[in-house]
Amino acid sequence: MNFRSFAINLQCGPTIEHHDDIAFHFNVRFDGYCLVMNHYYGRSWWQEERDESRLPIKEGESFEAVILCRLNSIKVSINNTHFYEFKHRLPYQRITYITIVEDVILKSISFEDA
C-alpha cells in the first residue's frame, strides 16, 4: 500500500462537510515529507505550523501517537517521544469529536481522563 498522508482532527462537531470547526489538525504528509498543524474556524483554514525538518513516522510502519490536551496547548508525542506543542487557537472545551482520515490503518484508540 502506498501511504500519502493522514490526519488526526480534534473537532468541535462531527464533520467538516457541515463546516464544523476543528480545534487541532495534525497532518502527516509522507509525499511532502512534512508535518502540518492547523485549525479550521469559520469555514476557513488558518495559518499552518509546519515542520519539514523531521518526520517522526515512517511510511507503512506502526506507531503510537499520544495527544495530550492541556490548559494552554495540545502536546503530541510519537513513539514515547515529545514531538510538538500546539498552542490553543480555539477553546479546548469546544472539542467534542475526534476524526482520523486518509491513509492510516487504526488498530486501537483510547481516551483517558487526567
* Class in CATH terms, 5-102: mainly beta
Give the Cα separation of 52 and 55 in Å (integer): 7
Other C-beta atoms within 10 Å of 107: how many?
Answer: 7
pLDDT value for 55: 83
Other C-beta atoms within 10 Å of 57: how many?
Answer: 19
pLDDT value for 37: 96
> How long is the chain?
114
Residues 6+ positions from 70 with CB-CB distance below 8 Å: none
pLDDT value for 58: 85
pLDDT value for 95: 94
The region that residue 79 occupies, defined by phi over 0 for left and psi between -120 and 50 for alpha, beta otherwise, is left
Give the Cα separation of 99 and 114 in Å (integer): 21
Check: pTM over 0.75? Answer yes or no: yes
Residue 49: strand, helix, or coil: strand
Q: Which amino acid is at 4?
A: R
Mean pLDDT in runs of 10 for the chain (114 residues)? 85 81 94 91 94 84 89 92 93 93 79 66
Query: What's the grid cell of residue 98?
Result: 475526534
Q: Structural domain boundaries of the chain?
A: 5-102
Residues 28 and 6 sit within 8 Å (Cβ to Cβ) = yes
